[in-house]
Amino acid sequence: MIEIKFSRFPRWDEIKELEKKAKNNIIIVKLPKSIYNSSKMKYKLEYMRRKLIFVEVDEQKRGRPKKIDESIKNYVVQLLTNGKNLSEIARELNIPRTTIFDNIKDFLPKIKREKFMKLLYEYKEFLIEKELYAPHVQILFSELEMHIKKEDFENAKKILDEIIKISKSARKNKK
C-alpha cells in the first residue's frame, strides 16, 4: 500500500505514474479539502477512481503552525475573562496582539458569556448587600442564567430588564 499526499493539484503525468503503480499496489492519494472539492479536480478524481486509485480528503491541518500553545491560550482566555484587554495581554506576554486574537477568536463567545456571568454575580452581590435581593429576584436570576447558558440572549435581556426594574422600585420603596 502506498499513500501519497498532494498539497496542490496533481498533474496528468503524475496521475499516469500513479496509474502504473496501482497495477501492483494499492494507492491512496490524499488531497486537501479545498483541492478535493474543486471543480477543476472533478474529471481527475473520476479518472483516478476508474483506475483503482483511492482518493481521500487529508484532514491534517495545513499552513503555518500557531505561535502560542494551549497553556498560553488558556491563560489569555482567563485574563480576558478577568477584564484585561488584548493590548495589555500582548504587552504582558510580549506577543503581537493579532497573533493572540487569531489564536483565541474561537473562544470569544465563551469569554463574552463568562464576562457577562461575572457581571451578573457582581450585580447579585450588590443587591444582596443593599438588601434588595428578594426571593422572586432570586428566581429571575436563575432563569437569567439558564437563558444565557442556552444563548437565548433576547429572553435574557428581558429578564435582566425586569430584575433592574424590580431593584429600582425596591430601592425607591426602601427610601
Which residues fall within 8 angstroms of residue 111, CB to CB, at 6 or more apart? 77, 80, 81, 104
Domain assignment present for residue 154? The answer is yes
pLDDT of residue 130: 87
pLDDT of residue 66: 64
Residues 37 and 9 in one domain: yes
Domain's final residue, options 23, 38, 58:
58
Domain assignment present for residue 63? The answer is no
Residues 169 and 119 in one domain: yes
- Reading the chain (175 residues) residue by residue, the pLDDT tens digits are 899 999 899 999 999 999 999 988 899 999 999 899 999 899 999 999 999 899 999 988 777 766 688 899 989 988 988 888 999 999 999 899 999 998 888 888 888 888 888 888 899 999 889 888 888 889 999 999 898 888 888 888 899 999 989 888 888 887 6
Domain assignment present for residue 149? The answer is yes
Helix axes 86-93, 97-104, angle to 10 degrees: 110
Which residues fall within 8 angstroms of residue 97, CB to CB, at 6 or more apart? 86, 87, 90
Residues 154 and 121 in one domain: yes
HSE toward the beta carbon, residue 146, CA cutoff 13 A: 8
Tell me the pLDDT tens digit for each residue of 3-14: 999 989 999 999
Domain count, the chain: 3
- Domain of residue 138: give its range: 110-174
Residues 94 and 114 in one domain: no
Count of beta carbons in the 10 Å neighbourhood of residue 18:
18
Domain assignment present for residue 127? The answer is yes
Which run of H or of E encompasses 120? helix 108-129
Residues 75 and 98 in one domain: yes
Residues 114 and 169 in one domain: yes
Residues 45 and 99 in one domain: no
Residues 116 and 102 in one domain: no
Residues 114 and 139 in one domain: yes
Domain assignment present for residue 122? The answer is yes
Model-level pTM? Answer: 0.51
* Cα torsion angle, 128, 134, 135, 139, sign: negative
Domain assignment present for residue 39? The answer is yes
* Residue 141 Cα to chain centre, angstroms: 27
Residues 49 and 83 in one domain: no
CB neighbour class for 93 (10 Å; exposed up to 12, middle 13-18, buried from 19): middle
Residues 161 and 117 in one domain: yes
Tell me the pLDDT tens digit for each residue of 28-52: 999 999 899 999 899 999 999 999 8
Residues 140 and 150 in one domain: yes
The three-state secondary structure class of 5 is strand
Domain assignment present for residue 28? The answer is yes
Looking at residue 67, the DSSP 8-state letter turns out to be S
